[in-house]
Amino acid sequence: MAQAGFKKGKGAATAADLLVQLGPTLLVDLGLKSRATSGEPPDLPLKAARALIDTGASSDCIDDDLARSLRLPVTDEGEISGVGGKHLAFIYLARMWIPSLGRLLFQPFTGVRLSQGGQWHRVILGRSFLRQHRLTYDGDSGAVELL
């Protein structure tokens, strides 16, 4: 079981406050190929990237600048539209290792402008990721568990 909430507060903010401000967050490793030898845990180039668990998204997203810096392959292209208008976008392929779950998987990630928007997270995990999990959200305590 992975913890995606907050156990302690920071300053005047309680753990519950931090969960409201930041959202359920997992730390994940990202890249295309693991450098680990057989029998070892995956060794991907980017360690401990902050990933927001977002049930409002149907699939997963990655910061576009990060995807380019990791040289992730482009596997589709299209258009993102919403309240901010529309712009062209790519889908990238990446390996994601979640140490707290012991789970390694290939995922398609839509490239979005998280860092340009000043977002704290580098990755967003949506409902396609959650399909194999049970998420327990306790807003009162700030705890979030992922099974």
End-to-end CA distance of the chain: 5
Question: To the nearest 5 percent, what fractions of the chain are helix, strand and coil?
Answer: 10, 45, 40
Spell out the residues 6+ positions from residue 96 whose beta carbon is closer than 8 angstroms to its own. 28, 29, 30, 44, 104, 105, 106, 107, 123
DSSP codes joined into one string, 23-60? -SEEEEEEESS--PPTTSPP--SEEEEEEEE-TT-SSE
Taking contact as CB under 8 A, which single stretch among the options 11-19, 43-51, 99-107, 131-139 is the one that binds another protein? 99-107
Does 82 sit near another protein (CB under 8 A)? Answer: yes
- For residues 11 to 50, the per-residue mask of contacts with another protein, x marking binding by CB under 8 A and - elsewhere, is ---------------------xx-----------------
* Selected binder of another protein within 112, 123, 143, 144 (CB under 8 A): 112
* Least distance from another protein to the Cβ atom of residue 9, Å: 25
Does 139 sit near another protein (CB under 8 A)? Answer: no
Q: How far apart are CA 42 and CA 129, in angstroms?
A: 19
* Least distance from another protein to the Cβ atom of residue 126, Å: 8
Footprint of another protein on this chain (CB under 8 A)? 32-33, 54, 56-59, 61, 71, 73-84, 88-91, 93, 105-108, 110, 112, 124, 126
